[in-house]
Every structure is written in C-alpha cells, then in structure tokens.
C-alpha cells in the first residue's frame, strides 16, 4: 500500500507506522515535503498501482490546504487498483477532521473513500488503531478475497483470519506483558522479514518487504553488497560464483542446501537479511517526532531529542527468532550464532527460537485464550537456546573483556574472556547465579566498570560469552585473517563441527 502525510517525518511516519503495524507492505510515503514535484507524485501512484492508500495529514484544527493538496494529487492520478478492473481503489482518510469535506469532494466519487479518526489528533498523540483496523478489514476484503482458497478457509473457521505478521505480533506482545520484559522477535520468511519489539511497553512491528531468503534473496545481496555477505563465509568465494548461486536460489526458491558450503552461504545471507531488517526496525521504532518536551534543569546535560529509537539492546531481555532458516537450522548453535551476529545483543540477553513455526497460530489463540497461548508458547513453542553475554565499549586487542563467575549445577565456573574470543559454556535452562565483571571502560549492563550480579539461563546451546566487542563490532578486513577468525568462532561455539573435515 501507499501512505501519505503532510510532513514526512510526522504524519507521514505515523501513517507508515499504522500501515506496517497492520502488517502491510509500504511501497512509498507521499508527503508535501518529500521533495518530489507534483507530476512525479502522480506518476509514482500510477506506476505503483497499490492495493490501497492511507491518507493522513494535519492535526485536528491544523492545516487543511496541504491535506487537500495531497487529495488533489490522488485525484489527478485517478489510481486504479491492481486487482479487479471494475473496483474503485480503497482510500482511507485519517487526517485533520476539518479537511474531511474537501477530501470527500475530491475523492468521494473516483475512489472507495473511507474516513476514520485522525491518526495524529495532536502532535503529542498518535491514534493508530482506527486506521490499522480499517487497513486490516480492507486487506481481508480486497486482497485476501482474491487469494485462492480464501473463501473455503472462511467456511472452516469462526475465528477471525489474521495475516501472519499480525498474529506473530500478538504473541510477542502477550509474552512481553506476561513476563514484563523487553522483547525483540523476528520472523524471517521467503519474501519478507518481520521484526517486532516491545521496549518501554511500546509495541512496534515492521515488515521489511523484499528482505527474505528465497523470492527476494537477491535483494538482500543487492542491499547488503557482496562484501557484507562474504564476510560471514569462512572460506574464499568468487563473486560471480556466489552471486550466481544466490540468483539460482531466487529462481528456484524451494530448493534445500544439500552441501555444507551451500548451508554456510545461506546462513551468511540470513545474517544480512536479519541485520538489514533490524536496522529498518530501529529507524522506525522511535519516539514521536515533532513533540515539544519540557526540560528541567536535571535534563540539561541529557542530549535526547524527539525521534530517538526506542530500541535499546542493553535493555533487551529476550531475542526470539522464527522462520525456516532459524527454526530449521540443522544445529541450534547455528541459529544462536545467526541471531547474535545479526542483532549484536548487548549485556545479558536470552536467545530463543520458535520450534516448529507455531507463533502465528499462538498469536491467534492469544486473542481468544491469552493464558493458554502464553503457556503453550513457553512450554512447546519456544526452544530456549541460552544466553548471550557481551560487554559494550571500545576495547584493545588482548584486553580482558569480562571476568565471569557462574554457578552451574556441576559447580562454579570462573574465567576471563579476552577481546576477540567467543566461549560456549554448556548449561541447562534453569536460573543460574552469575557475577559478571566488565573489563576496564566496558559495560555489561550495570554501567561502565560496574559489576553485575544477576541470574542467567542456559538452554539447548548454553551460555555464549561474546568478547568480539560491541559499539564497535568489527570483523577483520584481511580475508585470510577473517577466515581463520570465523573458523575459530565456529569451532568454539559448535556451529559447523564438520567444517574441519569437509572439502569446503
């Protein structure tokens, strides 16, 4: 779908948040200040032929002229829906309530216009739900209704049918509420990757269109670049060979990696798809922009501003992965490493994956029986991989990143972790006491140079102590050094034990 707002970073962004929150793919954001000429906007709408358009703009009582100008752009474009030559294009207006009449005059006849409450009634307030509900209804009516078998499915179930991103979002929200924790969830598919987060009790969801593992795998390569994919591969790769292999995965999306080499390449791309989707999510999951904040003298030295990301990795308690490449990785260790390398969690973070891609179903169940859904999620859906512990801050080579003292069921284990090391400590999923002392100038969650006494959990993989650095995290530039570094990390974490004896 396309969305529109008067100011791109304010109502435009709110409209985008509403659309993404409803599980839509946003093809473009139109705004009065987007720098494009009028006829360029008209051409863009005609060219994209979206399934629906969400038009917002202006706080209640604010600008009418700019909102009407956007409506006039739509009127001039006279857009036709992609599906069904006889339908009118659905347009949702969720802007300044005083602009409703002139918008109706311009779009009432030529489009299927629906009016809902303003998405941004005041600068300080966002009211996304009415727009989200309408987008969801329209998606079901206009888009899903065209999908083969949809009518049959409707006959089979009394519960509402939900798009996958919507349903996965529901279960992530429920788990964050039930355990009162910050959560990031990711669902990596063939065409898209959805990222969900709950920080400071605020839920955000992004659908990164065209960052997936099969239909859009070449787009991951195009967006990340060859070097970013190759940096995760522990052997030398010729660029033409790698790009042809990835291209062949795109044109034959249902094939499976048979060789270890093919698996490693696929998991390297997955790291980049996850990283790029998370970057997009961080840019989008922000505090409202344009809000005036009252500052007191105690805030004088705090350089925060509106529009800052809500995503704080040090605050993150749990990272959950879903989707074939994570859920069906031949070794759980590989899933843990993909999550760690892509998201670079900081401090102490639990890692988990969806066992058999059950999260969407549990999301729907959570709307009917939340307690049952959370219980099944905890007991049968989540595979607890373990915990990642990573100190944050600039470190020197050979510097001790962390001293750890962990009470395992078999006894207390004590050790040092140097810069550039990765260590795996096998440990079961139970509460384990840990004393974590960061190296000089580093932070493990309690503040710079502060000792953290906490309870951590193991899992099917265990506790992975990551001394590779955060802020910055860098891989070696020299290919030979990088390959030997990757092989060492792989060996330490049990990622590809067969690598040593293979022909790769």
Partner 1 sequence: MSRSYTPGLKILARTKIIKKRQLPMKGNVHLKIGDIVKSDAIVASTELPGNVQMLNVANKLNIEPENVPECMLVELDESISKGQIIAESKGIFGMFKSQLKSPIDGTLANVSEITGQAILSEPPIPVEVDAYTSGTITEVDDEEGVTIETVGALVQGILGIGGENHGILEVVTTSPSDELTAEMIQEKHKNMVLVGGSFLTKDTFEHASKIGVAGIVSGGFDYTDLSKILGYSLGVAITGSEDIGPSLIITEGFGRISMAVRTYELLSSNAGNFAAINGSTQIRAGVIRPEIIIPSERENGEIRDYEEADLAITDGSLIRIIRAPHFGKVGKVKSLPTELTKMESETLVRVAEIEFENGEIEIIPRANLEMILT
Q: Write out the residues near partner 1 by the rule CB under 8 A.
A: 38-39, 42-43, 46, 64-65, 68-69, 72, 75-78, 80, 85, 102, 147, 191, 210, 215-216, 218-219, 221-223, 239-241, 243-248, 250-263, 328, 330-331, 498, 502
Judge residue 72's burial from the number of C-beta atoms within 10 Å of its C-beta, 0-12 exposed, 13-18 middle, 19 or more buried.
Answer: middle
- Output 202 or 259, the one with its CB closest to partner 1: 259
Q: How far is the CB of 110 from partner 1 (least distance, A)?
A: 11
Hunting for tokens 């499976």 — which residue is that?
256
- Output 69 or 492, the one with its CB closest to partner 1: 69
- CA distances (Å), origin 186, targets 100, 195, 206, 341, 342: 38, 4, 10, 14, 11
- Output 221 or 442, the one with its CB closest to partner 1: 221
- Output 251 or 412, the one with its CB closest to partner 1: 251
Beta pairing class for 452-457 and 431-438: antiparallel
Q: Which residues on adjacent β-strands are paired with residue 54?
A: 3, 92
Residue 87: how many other CB atoms lie within 10 Å:
12
Q: How far is the CB of 264 from partner 1 (least distance, A)?
A: 8
- Output 107 or 432, the one with its CB closest to partner 1: 107
Helix (H) or strand (E) holding 369: none
- Output 21 or 57, the one with its CB closest to partner 1: 57
Q: How far is the CB of 106 from partner 1 (least distance, A)?
A: 8
Phi-psi category of residue 252: left, alpha or beta, with phi > 0 → left and psi -120 to 50 → alpha? beta
Q: Which residues on adjacent β-strands are paired with residue 207?
A: 194
Q: How far is the CB of 66 from partner 1 (least distance, A)?
A: 8
Cβ pair 100, 60 in contact under 8 A: no
Q: How far is the CB of 281 from partner 1 (least distance, A)?
A: 19
- Output 260 or 413, the one with its CB closest to partner 1: 260
- Coil, strand, or helix at residue 5? strand
Contacts of residue 146, Cβ cutoff 8 Å, sequence gap at least 6: 83, 84
């Amino acid at each position: 779908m396309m969305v529109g707002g008067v100011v791109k970073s304010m109502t435009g962004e709110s409209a985008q948040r509403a659309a993404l929150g409803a599980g839509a793919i946003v093809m473009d954001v139109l705004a009065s200040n987007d720098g494009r000429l009028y006829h360029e906007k008209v051409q863009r709408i005609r060219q994209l032929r979206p399934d629906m358009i969400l038009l917002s703009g202006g706080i209640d009582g604010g600008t009418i002229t700019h909102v009407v100008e956007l409506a006039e752009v739509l009127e001039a474009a006279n857009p036709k829906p992609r599906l069904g030559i006889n339908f009118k294009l659905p347009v949702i207006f969720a802007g300044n309530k005083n602009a409703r009449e002139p918008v109706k005059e311009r779009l009432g006849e030529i489009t299927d216009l629906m009016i809902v409450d303003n998405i941004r009634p005041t600068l300080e307030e966002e009211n996304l739900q009415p727009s989200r509900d309408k987008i969801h209804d329209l998606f079901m009516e206009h888009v899903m209704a065209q999908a083969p078998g949809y009518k049959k499915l409707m006959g089979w179930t009394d519960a509402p049918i939900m798009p996958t991103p919507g349903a996965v979002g529901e279960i992530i929200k429920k788990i964050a509420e039930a355990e009162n924790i910050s959560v990031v969830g990711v669902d990596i598919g063939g065409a898209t990757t959805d990222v969900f987060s709950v920080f400071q009790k605020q839920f955000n969801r992004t659908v990164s269109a065209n960052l997936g593992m099969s239909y859009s795998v070449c787009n991951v390569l195009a967006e990340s670049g060859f070097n970013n994919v190759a940096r995760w591969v522990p052997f030398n790769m010729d660029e033409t060979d790698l790009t042809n292999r990835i291209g062949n995965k795109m044109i034959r999306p249902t094939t499976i990696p048979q060789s270890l080499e093919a698996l490693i390449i696929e998991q390297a791309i997955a790291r980049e798809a996850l990283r790029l989707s998370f970057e997009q999510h961080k840019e989008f999951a922000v505090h409202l922009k344009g809000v005036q904040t009252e500052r007191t003298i105690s805030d004088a030295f705090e350089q925060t501003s509106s529009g800052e990301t809500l995503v704080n990795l040090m605050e993150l308690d749990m990272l959950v992965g879903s989707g074939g490449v994570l859920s069906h990785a031949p070794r759980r260790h590989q899933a843990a490493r993909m999550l760690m390398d892509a998201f670079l969690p900081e401090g102490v973070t639990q890692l988990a994956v969806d066992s058999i891609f059950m999260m969407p179903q549990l999301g729907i169940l959570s709307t009917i029986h939340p307690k049952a859904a959370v219980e099944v999620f905890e007991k049968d859906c989540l595979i607890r991989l373990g915990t990642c512990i990573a100190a944050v801050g600039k470190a020197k080579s050979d510097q001790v990143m962390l001293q750890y003292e962990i009470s395992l069921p078999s006894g207390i284990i004590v050790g040092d972790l140097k810069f550039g090391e990765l260590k795996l400590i096998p440990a079961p999923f139970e509460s384990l006491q840990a004393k974590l002392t960061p190296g000089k100038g580093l932070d493990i969650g309690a503040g710079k140079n502060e000792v953290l006494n906490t309870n951590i959990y193991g899992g099917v993989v265990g506790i992975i102590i990551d001394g590779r650095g955060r802020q910055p995290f860098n891989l070696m530039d020299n290919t030979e050094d990088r390959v030997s570094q990757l092989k060492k990390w792989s060996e330490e974490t049990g990622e590809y034990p067969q690598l040593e004896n293979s022909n790769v």
